[in-house]
C-alpha cells in the first residue's frame, strides 16, 4: 500500500493559525445597515429576561430583508451568530413551553446565511464560541483577562466564563496544532528531530489547555450553569420536548416539515477530534462515535477538511502515520516515544476533566423540566458511559 500523503500539511490551507488555532480574525461586533438585527442582538438579555423575544420578533416585518452579496465572510458569521442566538431564544424563551415553529422573518434569513457558511441553521459551537468574542484592549492578546462575549442569552458571570474558557482553549490550541502538523510532516520525511520537536510543542499547548479547563469552576457554578445557561443551547433532535423537531416557516427547502438539528456542544469543537486523528486514537463503534461523526456537519467546512486531512495521513503499512512512527521507535528513540506518550497522557487528562464536569454540571443536577434533561447532553445523546469508554481507549493507545 502506498502512502496517501500528497504533500506536507499546512495550517494556513485550512484557515487555522499558530497564533489563534481555530479562531480567525477578531469577529465583527455589529452588522452594517441592519438596525433591527443589531438592536435584537444588543437587547437580547433584557428581552429574554422579560420573555419578550418572541413578541419582538413576531412584530417585525423582517429581521434581515436581504443578504448583501458584498458582505465579507466575517459579516456572514456575525449574522449567523445573531440569528442563532435569536432562534434559540425564540424557541426556549418560556421554560417547559418551547416554540414548535419559527416565524419566516427569522427562519428564512437564518437558513440562507447558514447555507452560505456550509452549516445547519442551529446555534453551533462556531457561533457560540469561535465567532463570539472581543478583546477589551485590542493591543493585548486573546486571554481570559482580556476577552468578553459579543452575544449572551441572559448574561452574567457564569454564562460569560463558561464560554470564554472555551475561547481561550481554542487560542491555546494553535501552537499545539502547529506542533502536531510538524510532527506528522516530520514522520513523512522520517525526520526524528522534527517529530520530537513537534510532539514537544503539542504537549506544551495541551498542558496550557488542560490548565485553562481546570479553571472552569472558578466563576461558573454548576447549578447556575444548569439552570440559567444550559436551557438555551439545546437543539431539536432527540429532544424530549420537541420530539418531531422544529418547523422553519416558509423555508422552501424544508417544505414546512419539522427539522431536527443537534444543540450546541463542545463536541462541535474540532480540537479533540484532530488530536485523536493525528495521534492515532481509535474508538470502537458506539453511539458516541456515531454522534461525533455527525458533529462534523456543524463545524466550519475548512476545519472539517483539516480533520479529514489528518485522518488521511497513513503510512505504507496502512497505519496512522504518526502513531506508527512513534511505536516503531520505542526502543531506538525512547525520547521520541516518551514525547508521544506525553501527548496521549495529556489528552487523557483533558478527557478526564471533561467527564468530571459533565457529571457535576449536568448529570448530578436535579431535573425539573423535560426541556433540560440530565440524562443527555445538549447535543441530545446519552454521554457518561461513552465518555468513560473513550477515555479508556485513549489510554490504550500507548499500551505496548
Domain residue ranges of the chain, discontinuous segments joined by +: 11-396
* Cα–Cα distance for residue pair 135/81, rounded to 1 Å: 17
The Cα 9–Cα 6 span in angstroms is: 9
Q: Are 157 and 140 in contact (CB under 8 A)?
A: no
Q: Are 298 and 124 in contact (CB under 8 A)?
A: yes
For 144-159, how does the pLDDT look when each residue is reduced to its tens digit (9 = 90+)?
A: 999 999 999 999 999 9
**CA-based angle 233:237:243, to the nearest 5?**
110
Q: What is the spatial distance between Cα 241 and Cα 382, in angstroms, rounded to a whole number?
A: 16
Summarize pLDDT for 241-284 with one digit per residue, the tens.
Answer: 999 999 999 999 999 999 999 999 999 999 999 999 999 999 99
3-state secondary structure of 129: helix
**In this predicted structure, what is the pLDDT of residue 4?**
47
Q: 363: pLDDT confidence band, cut at 50, 70 and 90? A: confident
Is 217 strand, coil or helix? Answer: helix
Q: Is 36 exposed, middle or buried (0-12, 13-18, 19+ CB in 10 A)?
A: middle
Residue 381's pLDDT band (cuts 50, 70, 90): low
> What is residue 364's predicted lDDT score, i.e. its pLDDT?
84
Q: Using an 8 Å Cβ cutoff, are 338 and 330 in contact?
A: no
Q: Does residue 15 come out as left (phi exceeding 0), alpha (psi in the -120 to 50 range) or beta?
A: left
- Match 435584537 to its residue by C-alpha cell: 40
From first CA to last CA, the distance across the chain in angstroms is 24
Q: How many other C-beta atoms can be found within 10 angstroms of the C-beta atom of residue 394? A: 24
Could you give the CA distance from residue 138 to residue 156 in angstroms, rounded to a whole number?
A: 23
Report pLDDT for 127. Answer: 98
Give 157 or 66, the one with higher predicted confidence.
157
Q: What is the mean pLDDT of residues 8-32?
A: 97
Q: Which of 89, 222, 246 is nearest to 162 (CA)?
A: 222
Grid coordinates representing 20 are 489563534
Confidence (pLDDT) at 373: 83
Architecture of the domain spanning 11-396: Up-down Bundle (1.20)
Which of 66-75, 291-300, 371-380 is predicted least confidently?
371-380
Q: Is the pLDDT of residue 382 over 70?
A: no
Amino acid 2: pLDDT: 42
For 357, residues 6+ apart whose C-beta sits below 8 A from its C-beta are 216
**Cα 394 from Cα 289, distance rounded (Å):** 13
Average pLDDT, integer, range 356-382: 80
Contact between 91 and 102 (Cβ < 8 Å): yes
What pLDDT, on a 0 to 100 scale, did the predictor assign at position 362? 87
Question: Does the pLDDT at position 201 exceed 60?
Answer: yes
User: What mean pLDDT is reported for the chain?
Assistant: 94
Q: Which three cell numbers stand for residue 245?
A: 423537531
Q: Are 83 and 113 contacting, i.e. CB atoms less than 8 angstroms apart?
A: yes
What cell was used for 248? Answer: 422553519
Amino acid at each position: 500500500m502506498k502512502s496517501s500523503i500528497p504533500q506536507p500539511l499546512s495550517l494556513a490551507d485550512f484557515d487555522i493559525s499558530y497564533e489563534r488555532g481555530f479562531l480567525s480574525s477578531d469577529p465583527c461586533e455589529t452588522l452594517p445597515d441592519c438596525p433591527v438585527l443589531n438592536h435584537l442582538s444588543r437587547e437580547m438579555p433584557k428581552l429574554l429576561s422579560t420573555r419578550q423575544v418572541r413578541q419582538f420578533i413576531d412584530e417585525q416585518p423582517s429581521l434581515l430583508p436581504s443578504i448583501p452579496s458584498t458582505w465579507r465572510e466575517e459579516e456572514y458569521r456575525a449574522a449567523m451568530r445573531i440569528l442563532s442566538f435569536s432562534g434559540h431564544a425564540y424557541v426556549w424563551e418560556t421554560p417547559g413551553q418551547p416554540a414548535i415553529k419559527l416565524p419566516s422573518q427569522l427562519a428564512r434569513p437564518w437558513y440562507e446565511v447558514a447555507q452560505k457558511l456550509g452549516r445547519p441553521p442551529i446555534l453551533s459551537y462556531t457561533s457560540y464560541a469561535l465567532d463570539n468574542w472581543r478583546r477589551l484592549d485590542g493591543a493585548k492578546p486573546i486571554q481570559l483577562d482580556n476577552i468578553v462575549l459579543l452575544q449572551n442569552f441572559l448574561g452574567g458571570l457564569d454564562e460569560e466564563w463558561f464560554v470564554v474558557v472555551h475561547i481561550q482553549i481554542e487560542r491555546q490550541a494553535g501552537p499545539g496544532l502547529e506542533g502536531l502538523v510538524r510532527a506528522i510532516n516530520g514522520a513523512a520525511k522520517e525526520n526524528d528531530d522534527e517529530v520530537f520537536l513537534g510532539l514537544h510543542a503539542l504537549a506544551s499547548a495541551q498542558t496550557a489547555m488542560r490548565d485553562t479547563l481546570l479553571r472552569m469552576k472558578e466563576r461558573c457554578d454548576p447549578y447556575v450553569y444548569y439552570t440559567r445557561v444550559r436551557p438555551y443551547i439545546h437543539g431539536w433532535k432527540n429532544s424530549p420536548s420537541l420530539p418531531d423537531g422544529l418547523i422553519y416557516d416558509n423555508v422552501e427547502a424544508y417544505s414546512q416539515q419539522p427539522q431536527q438539528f443537534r444543540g450546541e456542544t463542545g463536541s462541535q469543537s474540532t480540537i479533540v477530534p484532530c488530536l485523536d486523528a493525528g495521534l492515532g486514537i481509535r474508538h470502537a463503534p458506539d453511539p458516541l462515535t456515531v454522534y461525533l461523526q455527525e458533529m462534523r456537519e456543524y463545524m466550519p467546512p475548512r476545519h472539517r477538511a483539516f480533520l479529514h486531512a489528518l485522518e488521511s495521513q497513513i503510512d505504507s503499512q496502512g497505519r496512522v502515520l504518526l502513531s506508527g512512527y512513534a511505536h516503531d521507535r520505542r526502543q531506538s528513540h525512547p525520547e521520541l516515544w516518551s514525547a508521544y506518550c506525553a501527548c496521549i497522557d495529556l489528552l487523557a487528562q483533558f478527557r478526564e476533566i471533561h467527564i468530571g464536569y459533565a457529571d457535576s454540571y449536568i448529570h448530578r443536577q436535579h431535573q425539573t423540566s423535560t426541556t433540560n434533561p440530565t440524562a443527555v447532553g445538549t447535543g441530545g445523546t446519552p454521554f457518561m458511559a461513552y465518555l468513560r469508554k473513550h477515555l479508556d481507549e485513549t489510554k490504550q493507545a500507548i499500551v505496548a
